[in-house]
Structure 1
Amino acid sequence: MVEIKTPEQIAKMREAGLVVAAIHAATREVAVAGASTKDLDDAARKVLAEHGAKSNFLGYGGFPATICTSVNDVVVHGIPSADTVLKDGDLISVDCGAIIDGWHGDAAYTAFVGSGHSAELVELNRVTEESLWAGIAAVSKGNRLVDVSKAIEGFIRRQPRPSSGKYGIVEEYGGHGIGSQMHMEPHVLNYVERRRGRGPKLVPGFCIAIEPMINLGTEKTHVLDDDWTVKTNDGSWSSHWEHSVALTEDGPLVLTAPDGGKARLAEMGITAAPDPLG
């Protein structure tokens, strides 16, 4: 069953989402050459403490940190470590969440460390982020879940191909429902799988975390012996973006964006829902 939220519950999720946005801002500042991924985790812990929020990553299935730090060919679920030191030219994904009064927020971004990145990597990151916003734009009354997947995949497939021949859309992992738990129904694919049908109808109170993951090569991945770290099979680098989104009576609200998604959605001709926190 899909959990449908009340406006009051969405307001609580917005509070949690703003904590996630604050973690993103803090970790971006720390993600420089010479910093360890543990330094980023420490920055996240500080933000959570300052806001009186709990981590929904720490201890989840035994995960040992408050954020995931996935560097270069690590797609998702990288474990922060003092031994993993960022270098100029690295690409890092930071995935994190927060809980306020039992309600969850979850979002991820991918950033470059230093300078000197290839045009193909810059384009990979652009395509991944913009495919996320294409999916968010499809969160509207009357649509179904498959319309979100279709928007994400359609945007990616319309982009010029990289020298590797294609963008590998990761299939083993995707988005999810979010609310009173971090991961709940429905599963949100980043591509269209015909046998799944159209999925549930999007109605006010429907909340999902949309998170495309794209590799600059094959979509195939494998999990390391730590049972968490997911890497690309061919060593190609990967980008990962995510936002938690609520559909309200007044349209979509990007719970984990500082402005609720107002600016980016306006560029697409869509009016974001008013922020319940003012």
Structure 2
Amino acid sequence: MKEDSLPRRPVPVLVRDAAEEQRGSFFHLGIVSEKGNRPAPNQDVSGWVWAGELSIGVGIADGMGGHKAGERASWLALGAALQTLAGQSETVSPRERLAQAFLGAWRALNEEAKHDPAVRGMGTTLTLVWLENRQAYFGHVGDCRLYVVKGKECKLLTEDHTLASELEKTGTPLFSREELSGCRHVLTRCLSPMHEAAPDIDSLSIEPPFRLILVTDGIYPWLAVKEATFLLTDDSPLAAAEKLVRIARERGGTDDRTACVMDVFEPTDEKLS
């Protein structure tokens, strides 16, 4: 899509079971989402919302709840969060903007559960990035991950809200690989109609150019951080997202696989790849 065709209204674009690419004056974005090898529908979703000449919100979510509840939870939460991100006054600080976006996501889930008791048990992870004047701020609940690549260095910016992560922090011993694997799938924090989970909110204190990578848990167990840096640095964002999804699939991943890759640069710079 050409830059001059970007929407100037805060209308979120959500991507599931598809590939999308978007360019702006200071960013280049690619998203790929693919259903895993399971009977359930794809519960992952990623997307963005254009919010002005130098502002954009992007996010990723992974739903849960059985049947179609997880599918609905992630779609509703991300759509509401992106809409809230872009719809606030310019005077609102980036951190408060993110906090309100998570609140908007929770309210959307709560309203859905009021009208349909069958989905009261649904929930979703949610990771958001807000770019304002090429500065990045992010919020996070659950076990999707956000990485930043600067040059040849890749750094994880988020913490998994899982039982395994909590046990590792407290030094609790796990006696087998099976125990550790099981604990990695138990969330200690997520968004659900019954729980208004507090997000981790932080900022990224580096100057452009840099690359942001958002992935669901269907991808990162199959790719080491150092390997991701080596494999992805020279790819376009869409090609990098496609490669992440393909590697997870080829290495045996059965979960839904979604990757969002975004290059951020000065408007006068050449694109990163």
TM-score by length of 2: 0.35
User: Higher strand proportion, which one?
Assistant: 2
TM-score by length of 1: 0.34
